[in-house]
Structure 1
Amino acid sequence: LDCSLFPKLQHIRVALNYIRNMSIPDEFVSLWRYLALAYENDSFVKSCPSDQEINWHWMRGGASAQQVLQLQKEKPKYSFEVPDYPR
């Protein structure tokens, strides 16, 4: 388990989707497989912040009060799904 890289990749994945409306391309098969390893690790899953917490962290300086309120009201979501690739 890469305790340094996995959280950074999760932050990139979640914030990229929320802030820029972009996602990691499906063609990045090795990266998705690497993320799948993280999502199979119980320690990572239990300690991972929700998508809302990650988004708030990266928006904290530029978020409007309405955006912060919306993030706080939403049910916590965790982006742990990956494209289905053969292993």
Structure 2
Amino acid sequence: MGCNCGCGGKSQTKKWDLEPKFSDLKKGDKVEIVGYNEGDARYKSKLLSMGLVRGVTLEVLQIAPLGDPIEVSVLSYRLSLRRQEANVLKLKRV
């Protein structure tokens, strides 16, 4: 079954149109924090106290060899975050 939009049954949604999860980021990606998903309130509090608030831009600097943690540049410092814990962040690509 295809749609009636004229795409020939192929989706027009591009990968970069979707909100990325923190765990999907690659080296060099730049994202902006747009909010928080449901999750551990204590961990959200820690992220907020480190300056990870709405409107802040993150740049992925390095990813550990086994994929966890991820080092990001935020504000004027570097921060390493675990993938699954940081998925609480709602992001959009910059």
Question: TM-score, length-normalised on structure 2?
Answer: 0.26
Higher strand share: 2
Higher helix share: 1
Structure of greater Rg: 2
